[in-house]
Amino acid sequence: MPSGIRYWTVVDDDLQVVEDADRFLREVRLARGKAETTTKAYAEGISLFLRWSLSTRRDWRTGARDMGLFMLWLRWTPGHGGHLRTVVPGPGTEPVRGDPRINKVLTAVRMFLLHAVANKAVPPWVLEQIYEVADVGDLPADARGESGLMRHRLRARHRLQEPETNIDRASDEEIVAMFLACQSARDRLTVLLVSRVGLRPGQTAGMHRTDPHLMMDSRSLGCDVEGAHVHVVRRQNENRAWSKSKRSWVMPVDFLVVQAFDQYALERHERLGPGGSDFLLVNLFRPPYGAPITTDAIGELFEALSKRAGLDRKVTPRMGRHAMASNVSDAGGKLDEVQALLGQKHPGSARPYLHPRASRLRDAVDRVPSPRAIEREVGR
């Protein structure tokens, strides 16, 4: 767009924008403040729904009544623009799309149709085809709220049961090995920002040089936060880096991270002088020099470091973030502290990031008194 904001949309075979889909995606990006990647995921799901409607000669406005057939089409129809012929699957055939992918497509389609109903582009009864509509009367009293007003709730009708997959944490040994395998101060700082500070790749790549405050007293910078810290800010960045958290927060950093900042500042000045963009992490070793790194580059760095360090598995940035949260918990940190350090809004969001060490679990069991000890105590 002229403002520089990007979003993804849907076009037809003649490369004409599909107006209803475009209106929805613009609202998601501009009015709801969602990330560019969110519009990409939604646009992909909507395009599949429109392609299925066209290939089966259905009107997409009323196609929700056959959502089960759409799910079957998603599972077995190849991609590549729909030009490949659909093959009838036989026993043991691997599906084209798994349950998690199908659920994400269904989420995009539901949001699209809900928006179309609200804008009178789709009949109102479509809402009942994609959601179970009920009031709060059948909910427990604690869940109804105190207002006493009659409210309605929506529950998605079509959703596959996904197997629960836990994201493992990177071990301290793996992080140290990757740190030692780094060939530049910039890469070492990147590893620490993810695995010791706990930033997401989008927050790391989107950090500006004005965000770190590394002195003990930053009041001269107009900041009243004590000690070394970094500010995590959500911005529209030219490298498309995006902080998932809508709010800004302050993340304390220790002396290891401060030292990594110092070494990187020297390395950057040697290669770029005072030039380069205002972004913190920039290209130093390949053109365009001084341009900000991307979130994909951080993922590629972690993959390369996993191989270079001789690890048995690929350590991802997300595993590094899990390691940071688990280390805080293992060191005695409370759940609310982990939540605040991760920049999360809800207390329950921090729980999947906790991976207690085996030694902590053993100590927890050993602290439980044995029945014999209790019996002897009672006998006294």
Per-residue confidence in pLDDT tens, the chain, 380 aa: 888 889 999 999 999 999 999 999 999 999 998 889 999 999 999 999 999 999 999 999 999 999 999 999 999 888 765 455 555 666 677 888 999 999 999 999 999 999 999 999 999 999 999 998 766 555 555 445 555 554 556 788 898 887 666 678 999 999 999 999 999 999 999 999 999 999 999 999 999 999 999 999 999 889 999 999 999 999 989 898 988 888 888 999 999 999 999 999 999 999 999 888 999 999 999 999 999 999 999 999 999 999 999 999 999 999 999 999 889 988 888 888 888 888 877 777 777 777 777 777 777 777 777 776 666 666 65
Predicted structure pTM score: 0.77
Give φ, ψ of 230 to 5 degrees.
Answer: -130, 145
pLDDT for 167 equals 75
User: Residue 265: how many CB atoms within 10 A of its CB?
Assistant: 16
Structure tokens at 60: 């997409």
pLDDT for 143 equals 46
Please tell me whether residue 342 adopts helix, strand or coil conformation: helix
DSSP letter (8 states) at residue 284 = S
What is the full DSSP assignment across 311-335?
Answer: -SSPPPHHHHHHHHHHHHHHTT--H
Q: Say what angle helices 185-195 and 255-272 make with each other, to 10 degrees.
A: 150
Burial of 274 (0-12, 13-18, 19+ CB in 10 A): exposed
DSSP letter (8 states) at residue 151 = -
pLDDT for 101 equals 93
pLDDT for 150 equals 47
Distances (CA, A) of 171 to 198, 302, 354, 357: 14, 14, 13, 10
Structure tokens at 183: 């060939």
User: Residue 228: how many CB atoms within 10 A of its CB?
Assistant: 18
